Copies of this chain bind each other. A is one copy, B any other.
Amino acid sequence: MLTIGTLGKKTGTKVQTIRYYEQIGLMPEPGRTEGGQRRYGHAELDRLAFIRHARQLGFSLEAIRELLDLSDDPDRPCHEADSIARRQLKQIEQRIARLEALRTELKRMVHECSGGNTSDCLVLEVLRDHSECLTDHEDIGA
């Protein structure tokens, strides 16, 4: 039987985060000692490890919830899990593409800096300049 702190150490999760996962129903309510402290077994350790691994891969908590539901029911078809993973892959590829475009623009800004003062700073000028802007107003997110 593991305390919450030990479970946290084993999975690289803060104690507060584990309690948070419990609160939102991602982790089950564990058994308690007489005094009311949480105690965990192997099943919980595995579940939390799964969650953390998926988080490291960038899955949202909602996607992880779906994956856990699937994995709790061994008869459901695999393609559901597969399509969640594909969706995730697509998102990540979009983010990479977006960030690469930003990198290009930032590199241009930085390399051309002349070293004077802000009145003729290219960094600021590029930001002020609308004409070279991406003009894609929709997706500003990460």
Check if A55 is an interface residue, CB within 8 A of chain B: yes
Contact of A127 among B11, B54, B92, B128 (CB under 8 A): B54
Residues of B within 8 A of A121 (CB): 70-71, 78, 81-82
Chain A contact residues: over half helix, strand or loop, or mixed?
helix
- The residues of B that contact A119 with a CB separation of less than 8 Å are 74-75
> Which residue in B79, B96, B124 is a CB contact (below 8 Å) of A71?
B124
Q: Are A81 and B118 in contact (CB under 8 A)?
A: yes
User: Is A106 a contact of B88 with CB atoms below 8 Å?
Assistant: yes
- Tell yes or no: A26 within 8 A of B by CB: no
Indicate if A89 sits at the interface (CB-CB under 8 A).
Answer: yes
> Does A95 count as interface, using CB distance less than 8 angstroms?
yes
Whether, in the assembled complex, A2 has its beta carbon less than 8 Å from a beta carbon of chain B, the answer is no
Query: Contacting A53 at CB < 8 Å: which of B11, B49, B77, B133?
Result: B133
**Measuring CB to CB, which residues of chain A are less than 8 angstroms from any residue of chain B?**
11-13, 46, 49-50, 52-58, 67, 70-71, 73-82, 84-86, 88-89, 92-93, 95-96, 99-100, 102-103, 105-107, 109-110, 113-124, 127-128, 130, 133-134, 136-138, 140, 142
